[in-house]
Structure 1
Amino acid sequence: ALTVNGTITATGAVDAPAHNISDKKITVTTFTSTGINAAIDALGSEGGEVYLPEGTYTIDSTITFDYDNTVLRGAGFGTYLDATSYNGHPILISGKSNCQVRDLYIKGSAGSGYTQNLITDGGVLSPYFVAYNIKLEDSDGMGISWTGAGASYGLLYNVNVDNSDTVGIYAVGGTYNKLTLCTASNCTGDGLYLSGEGSLIESCFSTLNGAIGLRGTAGNVIKSSTSLSNTGVGISCAGADNIVSGNIVSLSGGHGIQMIGARQLVTDNISSNNANGKVGIYLNGAPNSIVEGNHCTGAPGKEDWGIYLTNSDYCNIVGNYSTSHDNGGIHLDANS
Structure 2
Amino acid sequence: MQLIPNAKQQFIDQNGLPLASGTVGFYFPGTLNAKPTYQDAAGTIANTNPVTLDSRGQALIWGSGVYRQIVKDGSGVTIWDQVTEDPNAGLTGNITDAKFVAGTDFTPGTTTQLTLPVAPGSSTNLWIFFDAAFQADDQISSVSGTTLTFASPIPIGVQEVNVKIGTTIAVGIPAAGTVTDATVSAGAGIDSSKLSFLQTGSGAKRRSIQSRLADSISVKDFGAKGDGTTDDTDAFNLAIAAANAAGGGSVYVPVGTYMIKPTGISMLSNVLLYGADAFACVLKANAATTSGMISAQSGANGWGIRGLTIDGGDFVTSIPLIPTNGANDFFIEDCVIQKFNVFGIGLNGGSRWRIENNKFNFTTPALTQNQALNVSISGGAVSEGIIRGNVMTGSAMDIAGSQILISDNFISGWKFGAGITTEFGTEEFQIIGNVCFGGGTLPDVNSTVPLGIECWATRSVIANNLCYSNGGDGIDFGGQYTSVIGNVCFNNGVGGGGSGIVARYANAGQNGSNSTVSGNTCFDTNGASGTQNYGYRDENASLARITISSNNFTNNKTGQVNVSNVITDARMPELQGSVPFTPGTITNGSSAGGSMGLTGAQFGDTVELSWSNDQQGNKLFGWVSSANTVSFRFENNTGATTSFGGGTVRAWVKKPINYPTF
Residue 186 of structure 1 pairs with residue 186 of structure 2? no
Q: In percent, how many aligned pairs have the same letter?
A: 22
Higher mean Cα deviation, 265-274 or 36-45? 36-45
Residue 240 of structure 1 pairs with residue 458 of structure 2? yes
How much has 1:305 moved relative to structure 2? Answer: 1.1
Q: Deviations over 1:307-328 (max 9, x none)?
A: 0123321121111111222221
RMSD across aligned positions (CA): 2.2
For 2:566 and 2:282, the matched residues in 1 are separated by: 55
| Alignment match, 2:401 | 196
1:66 and 1:216, CA in 2 relative to 1: closer, same or farther beyond 3 A?
A: closer
Gaps of 5+ in 1: 1-7, 9-19
| Alignment match, 1:307 | 536
* AA partner of residue 291 (structure 1): V
Residue 35 of structure 1 pairs with residue 235 of structure 2? yes
Pick aligned residue for 1:261 from 450, 467, 479: 479
User: Which structure exhibits the higher relative contact order, with contacts defined as CA atoms closer than 8 Å and separated by 6 or more residues?
Assistant: 1
Gaps of 5+ in 2: 1-190, 192-210, 227-231, 441-449, 505-510, 568-662
How much has 1:119 moved relative to structure 2? Answer: 0.8
Pick aligned residue for 1:287 from 513, 538, 558: 513
Pick aligned residue for 2:383 from 150, 166, 175: 175
Q: Deviations over 1:202-242 (max 9, x none)?
A: 10011001121012242111101100111211001113111
| Alignment match, 1:108 | 312
How much has 1:335 moved relative to structure 2? Answer: 4.6
* AA partner of residue 216 (structure 1): T
User: Does the CA-based 8 Å contact 2:262-2:286 persist in structure 1?
Assistant: no
| Alignment match, 1:128 | 329
1:288 and 1:334, CA in 2 relative to 1: closer, same or farther beyond 3 A?
A: closer
User: Does the CA-based 8 Å contact 1:178-1:199 persist in structure 2?
Assistant: yes
* AA partner of residue 208 (structure 1): G
1:142 and 1:66, CA in 2 relative to 1: closer, same or farther beyond 3 A?
A: closer
1:293 and 1:44, CA in 2 relative to 1: closer, same or farther beyond 3 A?
A: closer
Residue 138 of structure 1 pairs with residue 342 of structure 2? no
User: Does the CA-based 8 Å contact 1:24-1:43 persist in structure 2?
Assistant: no
For 2:480 and 2:336, the matched residues in 1 are separated by: 37
- Paired positions, count: 312
Q: Deviations over 1:45-81 (max 9, x none)?
A: 3232111011111112434335311111111221011
User: Does the CA-based 8 Å contact 2:263-2:289 persist in structure 1?
Assistant: no
Alignment of 1:144-155 (within 5 A): 144-148=345-349, 151-155=350-354
User: Does the CA-based 8 Å contact 1:264-1:286 persist in structure 2?
Assistant: yes
User: Does the CA-based 8 Å contact 1:59-1:86 persist in structure 2?
Assistant: no
User: Does the CA-based 8 Å contact 1:156-1:180 persist in structure 2?
Assistant: yes
For 1:109 and 1:64, the matched residues in 2 are separated by: 16
Residue 26 of structure 1 pairs with residue 217 of structure 2? yes
User: Does the CA-based 8 Å contact 1:220-1:243 persist in structure 2?
Assistant: yes
* AA partner of residue 338 (structure 2): E
1:66 and 1:301, CA in 2 relative to 1: closer, same or farther beyond 3 A?
A: closer
* AA partner of residue 113 (structure 1): V
Pick aligned residue for 1:213 from 405, 411, 419: 419
* The structure with more radius of gyration: 2
How much has 1:183 moved relative to structure 2? Answer: 1.4
1:240 and 1:214, CA in 2 relative to 1: closer, same or farther beyond 3 A?
A: same
User: Does the CA-based 8 Å contact 2:244-2:270 persist in structure 1?
Assistant: no
Pick aligned residue for 1:51 from 252, 262, 272: 252
For 1:240 and 1:225, the matched residues in 2 are separated by: 19
* AA partner of residue 531 (structure 2): K
Residue 157 of structure 1 pairs with residue 356 of structure 2? yes
For 1:141 and 1:334, the matched residues in 2 are separated by: 39
User: Does the CA-based 8 Å contact 2:244-2:271 persist in structure 1?
Assistant: no
* AA partner of residue 302 (structure 2): N
User: Does the CA-based 8 Å contact 2:544-2:565 persist in structure 1?
Assistant: no
| Alignment match, 1:99 | 303
| Alignment match, 1:249 | 467
* AA partner of residue 87 (structure 1): T
Q: Deviations over 1:106-144 (max 9, x none)?
A: 11132x3222311111xx210111001000011122111
| Alignment match, 1:296 | 522
How much has 1:279 moved relative to structure 2? Answer: 1.2
For 2:549 and 2:267, the matched residues in 1 are separated by: 54
* AA partner of residue 58 (structure 1): M
Q: Deviations over 1:150-177 (max 9, x none)?
A: x011011101111067101112340110
* AA partner of residue 241 (structure 1): R
* AA partner of residue 85 (structure 1): A
How much has 1:44 moved relative to structure 2? Answer: 3.8
| Alignment match, 1:117 | 320
For 2:293 and 2:560, the matched residues in 1 are separated by: 49
User: Does the CA-based 8 Å contact 1:24-1:47 persist in structure 2?
Assistant: no
| Alignment match, 1:225 | 434
